[in-house]
A and B are shown apart, each in its own frame.
Chain A
Amino acid sequence: MNGRKREVARRLFAYEFNRSAHKIESAEERSPTYILTPTGVRCNRVFVVGVLLDREETKPDTNFWRIRLSDPTGVFTGYVGRFQPDALETLLEVEPPELIAVVAKVRHFEGETRSFVSLRPENIAVVDSDVRDYWVYETARLTLERIKAMESKEEEDVLLAWQVYNPDLEEYRSVVKQALQTVIEGAVEVRGEKEEDKEEKWEEEEEKQLEEEFEFEEEEWDLSDILGE
């Protein structure tokens, strides 16, 4: 009954998400795993609003779908299967391209040559461009806050991020600015990320593992614990 504390849904752009290669695991059993992002926030869950570019069954008739979701800075990859029934139901009703909001757990996969992060959506909702615009603004604001924290080099995760990534903060600042510009100019253009061109090999590896996955993370829903029913 005494579940784990719920994880906050972090906000970060695809550009930063796709560069989050460091995994933080605790030795304690059943404790959550996180990815550490280059601007020093540990994240287990994210909230993303973007354009669903496509959804594709990883193999025919598996009902296991790969989705690509774009924000103004890059593309998130996600996987939806029967273990996320709510997300799956909505996904199958959506015809891409469509603006969607996604609440997702973050998954980190260690390939042979590199690591790879993806989304595992819990909830998907079709939204309008106001929601997307606010998300871009909010994500920009929170990213800038994190960049500031990186500069003051105080918090533990910030120090770890410096050690792991030694990031060029100007690069992240300029990504944020570009994203904000798209909102101000009223047109969010979708940019592909060249270096993210898919390496089929690790993707297949990842997908195989995902399909076999039967993991169900239990997290505390405080109200449900109390109210049960």
Chain B
Amino acid sequence: MGGIDKLTEQIVKRFRDSGFDVDAKEISKRLNLLIYEFKVPESEAVRTVTNYLMKELDIDREQLAAESPLVRIADVTTPGKWVSLKAKVIQLWDATSPNISQVGLIGDETGIIKFVTWAKAEKEEVKEGKSYLFKNVVTDSFGGRMQVNVNRNSQIVEIEEDVQLPPRELEVVGALIAIQQNSGLIRRCKLCNRTMTKDICPLHGKTEGYDDLRIKGIIDDGKNFYEVILNEDNIRELTGIGLKEARKIAEEKLERSAVLAELKNRLLGRYFRVAGMRGERYLIVREVEFLKQDIRQIAGELL
């Protein structure tokens, strides 16, 4: 019930801020019905009730306080809030399901957060490296971490300002203790760059693709772990295997998975120095190299 109370309060406040009185009890009843009886997702339930109230009051969206408060990413700590963020798109990932249009990381000076744009939201796609105002997005928590969802009531507006990212870079020395299976020589959709499985794009179906090289893995330093993505440049610098070499390996061994096997042989269980920006669990790799260290000296210092 705690959830319903919060959502109710949120809707009441939104209308009150615009000068409209609404019946909290009625809202709560409707939310309850949608969420518990009909198992509608919370954000969708809020939208439905809001639309209902607007119809009842005969007002349109412009009259409603559309602006959710502009907050900083570090302040996004509780799920289920409508907020607006000014942020730069740091990294786009492949969407898992056709329901998702885009997923990735955005950041401002205070932090980095995951964002998800639902396909139903029908928003224009954002681009890596550009800054946007994410208006009326909903905070959410997934696997214990915060994220923001872009839905139909949200707006994404590109802005001139180049939003600065967290100033402090993180440097981690740790072992690469896992490499995910869908690493190595992969294929991406020519239309949307998403990773294809057996030449099928999750969004565009059977379509033309192109080769790419990447590693999704985990760097662990014994106290924390960081999920990292190494791109073709990173991989080439570490192993001498770029796209060209990877294709050659695949041709010689007659299977693309031979590339992953070779990369695992060369990288798994090794120590690396990784510099980059830190998300809650992700490390956005800027530089990665094999650890080179004068062990005798540092070991001596410990004695």
A interacts with B: yes
A131-B269, A140-B299 known; A47 vs B143 contact (CB < 8 Å)? no
A183-B296, A229-B96 known; A222 vs B143 contact (CB < 8 Å)? yes
Q: Let me know if B222 and A142 touch, CB within 8 A.
A: yes
Interface membership of A125, Cβ < 8 A: yes
Instruction: Please measure, in the bound complex, the distance between the C-alpha atom of A222 and the C-alpha atom of B280, giving whole angstroms.
Output: 11
**Interfacial chain A residues near B97, Cβ < 8 Å:** 228
**Interfacial chain A residues near B295, Cβ < 8 Å:** 130, 133-134, 137, 183
Q: Let me know if B222 and A11 touch, CB within 8 A.
A: yes
Q: Let me know if A138 and B222 touch, CB within 8 A.
A: yes
Within 8 A of A (CB), among B241-288: 264-265, 268-271, 281-282
Which chain B residue has the least Cβ–Cβ distance from A9?
A: B220
Interface membership of A8, Cβ < 8 A: yes
Tell me the minimal C-beta distance from A155 to chain B in angstroms.
Answer: 13
**Interfacial chain A residues near B197, Cβ < 8 Å:** 229
Q: Let me know if A144 and B281 touch, CB within 8 A.
A: no
Q: Let me know if B270 and A131 touch, CB within 8 A.
A: yes
Q: Let me know if B175 and A227 touch, CB within 8 A.
A: no
Interface membership of B39, Cβ < 8 A: no
A137-B299, A140-B299 known; A3 vs B175 contact (CB < 8 Å)? no
Tell me the minimal C-beta distance from B149 to chain A in angstroms.
Answer: 13
Give the interface residue-count category, chain A: 35 or more
Interface membership of A123, Cβ < 8 A: yes
Which chain B residue has the least Cβ–Cβ distance from A128?
A: B270
Instruction: Please measure, in the bound complex, the distance between the C-alpha atom of A123 and the C-alpha atom of B218, giving whole angstroms.
Output: 12
**Interfacial chain A residues near B145, Cβ < 8 Å:** 222
Instruction: Please measure, in the bound complex, the distance between the C-alpha atom of A221 and the C-alpha atom of B181, giving whole angstroms.
Output: 11
Instruction: Please measure, in the bound complex, the distance between the C-alpha atom of A184 and the C-alpha atom of B144, giving whole angstroms.
Output: 43
Instruction: Please measure, in the bound complex, the distance between the C-alpha atom of A220 and the C-alpha atom of B144, giving whole angstroms.
Output: 11
Instruction: Please measure, in the bound complex, the distance between the C-alpha atom of A229 and the C-alpha atom of B189, giving whole angstroms.
Output: 13
Tell me the minimal C-beta distance from A85 to chain B in angstroms.
Answer: 11
Tell me the minimal C-beta distance from A133 to chain B in angstroms.
Answer: 4
Tell me the minimal C-beta distance from A146 to chain B in angstroms.
Answer: 10
CB pairs A–B below 8 angstroms (23 shown)? A8-B222, A9-B175, A47-B175, A101-B269, A102-B269, A103-B177, A123-B177, A123-B268, A125-B265, A125-B270, A134-B295, A135-B271, A137-B295, A140-B299, A142-B222, A180-B300, A184-B300, A222-B143, A222-B227, A223-B229, A224-B180, A224-B182, A226-B93
State the 8 A-B residue pairs at the shortest beta-carbon distance, nearest first.
A101-B269, A228-B96, A125-B269, A125-B268, A11-B222, A133-B295, A103-B177, A9-B220
Task: Mark A residues whose CB is within 8 Å of B.
Answer: 2-3, 5-6, 8-11, 47, 49, 100-103, 122-127, 130-131, 133-142, 144, 177, 180-181, 183-184, 186, 220-229
